[in-house]
Amino acid sequence: MNKISILVIGSNSFSGSHFVNEALLAGHEVWGVSRSPELDKVFLPYRWSISSSDSIATKENFHFNIIDLNTQLQNLLDLINHVRPSVIVNFAAQGMVAESWQNPTDWYQTNVVSQVALHDALRHMKFLDKYVHVTTPEVYGSTDEGWLAENYNFAPSTPYAVSRAACDLHLLSFYKAYDFPVIFTRAANVYGPGQQLYRIIPRAILSARTGTPLPLHGGGYSERCFIHIRDAMQATLNLAFNAEAGSTWHLSTKNPISIRSLVQKIADYCGADFNDFVEDTGERLGKDQSYLLDSSSIRRRFSWSDKISLDDGLLESIAWVDNHLDKLKSLPWTYQHKS
């Protein structure tokens, strides 16, 4: 694979930072964009690679820029016109579901209005070969009737999900009208080292290690598939180069698990008593029971498979928390909203 320039919007996000790492390891030049300064190194896997590698993921191949999509669109467009990337991968979104009920305007501004303005400018940039839009299975609503193949029969149940569905449909219309080179990815629940502490796996590990109460909404009986972040981002990098414009891809394992059973696994691995730190709470508004994504398309077309088992991934996540426990204990464990 030849070295190219890739621009990553939302490079501070969990998925975005891991994608940056995979792109650097593949030898590409990467331009990262986020509205906030770079996070602490503990959350940035590409900084781990830069520190340990003397040949592949070097500092010279990564360029970070602080740009807010909501208020500095022209700055972003100027950067894109300067870099002229072949590929843009967009992870930027207001991403928390429960909080989207409290500040829905912020979710629609970031996830729809600002995105439409960006895409309307990008469609005129002829140097852009692929635009990867990292979206979410929440656009489907709960997949109560079984495994769901890629489609646009959306039934979103929260302001967050509605905002993502609206942007997906907008981009689909741009593909049909302008041949805009968009590729959609919808991944199951990603996890792994470096994840935000308010997400269920790192939060459960921290609670198991410290005895701090962990609330389980609805008792934790909803089901999810958890895919390791490296499996998901290696697939995303492959799709960025090889998938055709207008296509949609599901990235998921074939192994659903209830949140309650997941936390029990974590408790067992940590040598903690589940009942000592877990507290059952009421279900959150608009909570979907399951997201079961049929990932046979990418498996068949690109011979892709998830390689990291949930058990191995959990042990890796526990090791990451243990290696940085003092630092992580001092940081906020709950979502901090930025408008």
pLDDT at 289: 83
Contact between 49 and 56 (Cβ < 8 Å): yes
The mean pLDDT value for 106-121 works out to: 97
114 token code pair: 């600002």
- Average pLDDT along the chain: 93
- Residue 89 or 289, more confident: 89
Please determine, for residue 101, whether its predicted confidence score (pLDDT) is greater than 80.
Answer: yes
Nearest to 39 by CA among 73, 60, 13, 75: 13
Q: For residue 209, is it within any domain?
A: no
Please determine, for residue 73, whether its predicted confidence score (pLDDT) is greater than 70.
Answer: yes
pLDDT digits (tens, 9 = 90+) for 130-162: 999 999 999 999 888 889 999 999 999 999 999
Please determine, for residue 56, whether its predicted confidence score (pLDDT) is greater than 80.
Answer: no
Low-confidence winner among 23-27, 48-52, 252-256, 279-283 (lowest mean pLDDT): 48-52
- Whole-model pTM? 0.94
Contact between 30 and 111 (Cβ < 8 Å): no
Please determine, for residue 54, whether its predicted confidence score (pLDDT) is greater than 60.
Answer: no
Nearest to 18 by CA among 320, 337, 295, 298: 320
**Cα 179 to chain center, whole Å?**
26
Q: For residue 267, is it within any domain?
A: no
Residue 90: strand, helix, or coil: strand
Measured CA to CA, the distance from residue 162 to residue 100 in angstroms comes to 10
DSSP structural state of residue 148: B
Number of structural domains the chain divides into: 1
Residue 223: strand, helix, or coil: strand
Q: For residue 338, is it within any domain?
A: no
Q: Label residue 203 by pLDDT band (50, 70, 90).
A: very high
Q: For residue 83, is it within any domain?
A: yes
- Locate the DSSP E strands across 136-207: 182-187, 189-191
Nearby residues of 303 by Cβ (< 8 Å), 6 or more positions away: none
pLDDT digits (tens, 9 = 90+) for 228-287: 999 999 999 999 999 999 999 999 999 999 999 999 999 999 999 999 999 999 887 767
Q: For residue 327, is it within any domain?
A: no
Q: For residue 219, is it within any domain?
A: no
Measured CA to CA, the distance from residue 150 to residue 295 in angstroms comes to 8
Domain coverage including residue 80: 5-194+226-254+292-308
Query: What count of residues does the chain have?
Result: 339
pLDDT at 53: 53
Q: For residue 90, is it within any domain?
A: yes
Contact between 100 and 160 (Cβ < 8 Å): yes
Nearby residues of 259 by Cβ (< 8 Å), 6 or more positions away: 200, 216, 220, 221, 222, 223, 224
Q: For residue 320, is it within any domain?
A: no
Which CATH number do you get for residue 52? 3.40.50.720
Count Cβ atoms below 10 Å from residue 59 Cβ, excluding itself.
Answer: 11
